[in-house]
Amino acid sequence: MQTQTSTQRIFLLLKKDFILEWRQKYSLYGLLLYLCSAVFAIKMLHDNPEDTTWNALFWIILLFISVNAVAKSFLQENKQRNLYYYTLIHPREIIISKLVYNVILMAGMSLVSYLLFVLLLGSPNVQLGKFMLMVMTGGISLALLFTMLAAIASKADGNSALIAILGFPLVVPQLIVIADLSKPLFVTMQVLGWWKLFFVLLFLDFLIITLSIILFPYLWKE
């Protein structure tokens, strides 16, 4: 593996994660079961909710899905495997592969969540193109954030409580931006300044990626 390029090693790590996910299908099935159960419970309690309620419930469910889907990405790696990686792979390649994997996973889960909401709770009156962009970008943003938090928690003896402690002050501003971006999409009129706020969300994502790549090698040495 040492003779391979950095891109090839990242690809191999991605391939390893996908193979493990496929072999441990119960994890993915558990996420889908949780998602279907949560949306069905919402339907039983509040059939055909108003657009603003629909929007709030959607992002709450997506937040919990991202915690369950992404938080395990580093916590499932044992010390022996990490020691093996340490001798062969640069830590920057590990964090990049985890970021890419979780982005792909949450992009898929975000799309499935939207389809389930539309199927069971009805399709809201929304600017579909922009809202679909928000669905994918919002899911990816949450994946990036919780990947970084999972990386930090993994170096604290796998203390998953750190994800909740560190995540609260970080996820709140991100959710505020996502909410401010998605609310105006439930009206037919165009909203001035929407794209500027959208680029703020992209900037936050870029900042998280940059910090993850810079800080993770120092965590990896511990």
92 falls in which pLDDT band (50, 70, 90)? confident
Average pLDDT rounded to a whole number, residues 164-191: 80
16 falls in which pLDDT band (50, 70, 90)? confident
61 falls in which pLDDT band (50, 70, 90)? very high
Q: How far apart are CA 116 and CA 31, in angstroms?
A: 13
The pLDDT value given to residue 118? 92
Residue 1 has pLDDT above 60, yes or no: no
Q: How far apart are CA 104 and CA 153, in angstroms?
A: 22
The pLDDT value given to residue 29? 84
| First-residue to last-residue Cα distance in the chain | 23
The pLDDT value given to residue 3? 58
Domain ranges, ordered by start, for the chain: 22-220
Q: How far apart are CA 4 and CA 160, in angstroms?
A: 34
Tens digit of each residue's pLDDT (9 = 90 or more) over 65-90? 888 888 777 766 666 666 666 677 88
Q: Which helix (H) or strand (E) holds 13?
A: helix 6-23
Average pLDDT rounded to a whole number, residues 29-52: 87
3-class DSSP assignment, residue 207: helix
Tens digit of each residue's pLDDT (9 = 90 or more) over 116-162? 999 998 888 888 888 999 999 999 999 999 888 888 777 666 556 66
The pLDDT value given to residue 159? 57
Higher-confidence residue of 103 and 216: namely 103
The pLDDT value given to residue 37? 92
The pLDDT value given to residue 189? 62
Residue 172 has pLDDT above 90, yes or no: no
The pLDDT value given to residue 112? 94
Q: For 5, which DSSP code?
A: -
Residue 52 has pLDDT above 80, yes or no: yes
| CA-angle at 206, arms to 202 and 212, nearest 5° | 145
Q: Which residues of 127-157 are buried (b: 16+ CB within 10 A; e: fewer)?
A: beebbeebbbbbbbbbbbbbbbbbbbbbbee
Residue 25 has pLDDT above 80, yes or no: no
Cβ–Cβ < 8 Å for 205, 177: no
Average pLDDT rounded to a whole number, residues 48-67: 88
Residue 2 has pLDDT above 60, yes or no: no
The pLDDT value given to residue 79? 65
> In sequence order, which residues have a C-beta less than 8 Å from that of residue 35 and are 6 or more positions away?
61, 65, 109, 112, 113, 116
